[in-house]
A = this chain, B = another copy of it.
Amino acid sequence: MNLISEKTIERLILYRGLLLQANHENESGIYSHQLARMAGFTPAQVRRDLMQVGYTGSPARGYDKAKLIQSISALVDPAEKREIALAGIGSIGRAILAYFHGRSSLLEITAAFDTDPEKTGRVIHGCRCHPVDRLADIVRERGIRTGILCVPAGAAQSVTDALVEGGIRGILNYAPTRLIVPPDVYVENRDMIMAVEKVVYFSGLKTGQRKENG
């Protein structure tokens, strides 16, 4: 099996989300053109993406929603429960803890880190908070592979170094900083300012642009 592109993975995750939302409808099957309309892509794009997951639909009934969800999950979900670490329990850090809490049984934020002694030693939205000096050790001990970074820009690189030291494999970065990591650590940047600037730019164009994922 050759590698599936980042864009395809993004779209597959989106399809799964849409299917989960649409799962209450009475129909058990769904056609590529229906999924395409929901997602904002072309039917051909949807079929091409679904080829990659190996689940095959029927020309008569389309794709079975439940089975498709299952097939996408088999591809994108980890085999077992994954713990996630969060660094920086400030305003977004806390919002993310609140939002994530109890949402998924497969993915759970189980350790949060901060320098502020007001925050460490407590449990916030179900998540135990630790001083940041213990980050590398805790990440290593628990085999945590994924981190969410919500510290101020000035602390982003040093906290990243600690995450990497602990053996992290992927970071979702909300700080407006380009992190330096070894080539086998995956980083997804989510700078809000840049996102707003982009939307403002497209808000100013006369001709409408395509919508996109994220």
Contact = CB atoms under 8 A, between A and B. Distances in A.
Given A195-B190, A204-B78, A178 B18 contact: yes
B200 A188 contact: no
A210 to B, nearest CB: 7
Contacts of A181: 211
A184 interface: yes
A208 B190 contact: no
Contact of A188 (B99, B146, B183, B199): B199
A183 B209 CA distance: 8
Interface string A181-214: 1111111111111111111111111011111111
Contact of A199 (B100, B172, B176, B207): B172
B92 A99 contact: yes
* Most chain B CB inside 10 Å of its own CB: which residue of A6, A82, A191, A202: A202
Contacts of A104: 193
A212 B183 contact: no
A94 interface: yes
A169 B204 contact: yes
B9 A169 contact: no
Nearest to A208: B184
Contact of A145 (B172, B178, B190, B204): B204
Contacts of A183: 208
A106 to B, nearest CB: 9
A6 B210 contact: yes
B203 A146 contact: yes
Nearest to A173: B214
B199 A10 contact: no
Contacts of A214: 188-191, 194-195, 214
Interface of A: 3, 6, 9-10, 13-14, 17-18, 38-40, 76-78, 82, 84, 90-92, 94-96, 98-100, 103-104, 107, 145-146, 148, 168-172, 176, 178, 181-205, 207-214
Closest 3 CB pairs of A and B: A170-B203, A184-B208, A91-B95
